[in-house]
Amino acid sequence: MQFGRVITHRIGGEETRGASSRTSPVYDPATGEVQAEVVLAEPGDVDAAVAAARGAFAEWSQASLSRRAKVMFAFRQLLNRNVEELARIVSSEHGKVLEDAKGEVLRGLEVVEFACGIPHLLKGEYSDQVSTTVDAYSFRQPLGVCAGITPFNFPAMVPMWMHPVAIACGNAFVLKPSERDPSASNLVAELYAEAGLPAGVFNVVHGDKVAVDALLDHPDVAGVSFVGSTPIAEYVHARGTEKRKRVQALGGAKNHAVVMPGADLGYAADQLAAAGFGSAGQRCMAISVAVAIGDAGDELVEEVARRAREIHVGPGLDPASEMGPVVTPQARERIVDYIGQGAEAGARLTVDGRELEMDGGGFWVGPTLIDQVSPEMSVYRDEIFGPVLSVVRSGGLDEAIALINRNPYANGAAIFTGSGYEARRFQREVEVGMIGINVPIPVPMAFYSFGGWKDSLFGDHHIHGPEGVRFYTRGKAITSRWPATQATAADAGSMHFPTSS
């Protein structure tokens, strides 16, 4: 098999292969061909990246807020100029259609814009005269070297949930992106350098578990952000916190959408088809379970099925395509296996994506709609991460809420309804981190924070937004007194516990 380009690390502002002889293929998911090979980091490569970050941190953490903001504004401008190029890279390596890739880049850009406001976001607090001649104030300082470990499904956006906020807060950053679609991160590193970010503040190492473990164990890494599956999120959190690091680890999801009989079923069907099959279902916020209440079921299934059959599936770079392939042959095999398990368990395959026929190679699975799914089936229990929408029939809102709350995943949930009463009950009683009301994918804007509950999050902080700023900084409280040059008896020390007076 003939390889194309070689993708290497970017450490301390330089491109480097390191000493590793291990590589991993980067596929074109639309053809099945290998288009590049990525060099996988060894522990020594991670050491070099962390050393570069540690060396750059001393100066960058002392940079003025105005200087940090200027770099972020310049980075934002360069990103905006390169949206098309970043989207093309993402589409070619991930497989998602070009417009979806552009949307991903633009949502990441919103976090950069949030980080541009760092002078305001890092404002401290001040209290005058908390005691006689005593003032108190607080501010937040950066952690040091922070690391990001990110998934394949959003190779541009998810890293941008992390590094702009971390860097604007004064930290240095080491990014370990997915080895399946690594090229976007290298371009981002080049744009940071062009924006004036000092060498070593942002570094990229490509790798697998070897690199992950090296980052989790490294004594100079102070904080770790992770997005991926729940088993790996739990592993990252446990290993990182054991090493006394601050860790936020976002895990998997099984997002439900409840459709009430009073909802606009045509609108709900449109939204469910887009939320279930967009990006070939490879989204942590994809709707994978539609809960049809009462009389809504039959019509809803019929409408979603019609829309699923009309979706134009094709290469991501083809402007006519609405859904592309999945990312690897292993991903396709896993998804196809789950569809078969659903059929064997007694669910009804209303639309079977295994029947999709495409010319040439590629990792193709068509939109799949499975009706009459029950909670004990694997297609309901497990995160499939493919274009598979399961329909569970339910007798009422109480039953639907209980179903969602029993699920160990708790990333997001949505309700389609025309009733404000039903919507308000749903948003208050459902135990998940993000709620959509007639919105199927309730990803919050960058000035809010993203994250789930239960097995969808390990750690205390959601990502980006205000909680992101708190994660990448630690608070310091100051109590100060400036006595007169000629101290008086009133300024004398006391052996008693200090109290305000």
169 catalytic residue (yes or no): no
How many Cα atoms occupy the beta-carbon half-sphere of 384 within 13 Å?
Answer: 34
439: Cα separation from own chain's centroid: 19
Strands 388-394, 145-149: pairing is unpaired
Edge-to-edge strand order for the sheet containing 134-142? 125-131, 134-142, 473-481
CB-facing half-sphere around the CA of 215: CA atoms within 13 A = 32
List Cα–Cα distances, 309 to 200, 315, 353, in angstroms: 49, 17, 9
Give CA–CA dist 203/212, Å, rounded: 14
* Contacts for 254 with CB less than 8 Å, ≥ 6 apart: 288, 289, 380, 381, 382, 383, 407, 409, 411
Catalytic entry in 116, 146, 169, 284: 284
Rounded-to-integer distance, Cα 258 and Cα 414, Å: 6
Tokens for 225, please give them: 């952000």
Residue 252 near residue 235 (C-beta atoms within 8 A): no
> Cβ–Cβ contacts within 10 Å for residue 17, how many?
14
The closest of 363, 287, 288, 365 to 327, measured between CA atoms, is 363
Active site residues: 284
